[in-house]
Amino acid sequence: MKPETTAIGARLRAPRAAAVAGILFSILLTLSFLLLRRSVPADPLDAGAWLQTRSDIVALALNLVPFAGIAFLWFIGVLRDRLGEREDRFFATVFLGSGLLFLAMLFLSAAVAGGLIMAYVAEADRMLGSATFGLARAIIYEIMNVYAIKMAGVFMVATSTLAIRTGFIARWIAFLGYALAGLLLFSSRYIEGILLAFPLWVLLISLYILLDKRLQPSAAGALTQEKEDGE
């Protein structure tokens, strides 16, 4: 097999890999958020009664987070591969940095929540309503609703800007990303569940990439044939 054919095949598989990874991330993170919203009160100052009745569901939701993170890393990597030489270095840096920071904060919040469950199992009577529980609960709330959600908004702005400059996704998806990013950046504390906008937008991008007709195998075959004819 010629090197040109191998390279084209790799390029064709890249968009589909990004799409699959983005879909997995969106489904897993959305499911995790919904399970947590259903089990844990939105009030960061709650006494922790959910640990007595909902700890198993919360643990399940937290176990989904690492797999969502792996899929998101794959999504970022393959998306950068699709941009290739067209990517702007400044926005590509912001794109990568904000994505990694969001992921780090997501993992940190999940780890603290998992630590609360482990501490409750070890010392249930001392954990409920304690200062330690209150501090950990407040830290989780602040990280996710102030910092992580802002990084998700920055990631959406950078991705949308790259999309407009390179055309790797439709412009209307990019403009929708700007609008949703504005909500994440300026309304995160006041709209419950607004963070779900992020995985749903990633899902939209992934479905678009998966259905994009510009990189079909037939097109690759035609391109390969043109190269062979030229030789």
What is the pLDDT at residue 162? 87
What is the pLDDT at residue 100? 94
- Report helix, strand or coil for 130: coil
Residues ≥6 apart with Cβ < 8 Å to 51: 116, 117, 120, 124, 127, 128
Residue 72 is assigned to a structural domain of this protein: yes
Residue 167 is assigned to a structural domain of this protein: yes
**Whether 60 contacts 110, CB under 8 Å:** no
Residue 228 is assigned to a structural domain of this protein: no
pTM of the model: 0.80
One-character DSSP codes across 2-68: -HHHHHHHHHHHHHHHHHHHHHHHHHHHHHHHHHHHHHS-S-TT---THHHHSHHHHHHHHHHHHHH
Average pLDDT along the chain: 80
What is the pLDDT at residue 80? 77
Residue 86 is assigned to a structural domain of this protein: yes
- Cα 200 to chain centroid, rounded: 9
What is the pLDDT at residue 4? 44
Q: How many domains does the chain have?
A: 1
What one-character DSSP code corresponds to residue 194? G
Residue 23 is assigned to a structural domain of this protein: yes
Averages of pLDDT over runs of 10 residues in the chain (231 residues) are: 42 66 94 88 70 83 94 87 68 88 95 87 73 84 90 94 85 94 82 86 90 52 42 48
CA 27, 29, 35: angle at the middle one, nearest 5? 100
Residue 49 is assigned to a structural domain of this protein: yes
Tens of pLDDT, residues 177-209: 999 999 998 876 667 778 899 999 999 999 988
Residue 1 is assigned to a structural domain of this protein: no
What is the pLDDT at residue 89? 73
What is the pLDDT at residue 148? 92
What is the pLDDT at residue 210? 84
The residue range of the domain holding 70 is 7-223
What is the pLDDT at residue 145? 86
What is the pLDDT at residue 220? 39
Distance CA 86, CA 83 (A): 6
Residue 2 is assigned to a structural domain of this protein: no
What is the pLDDT at residue 169? 83
What is the pLDDT at residue 88? 66
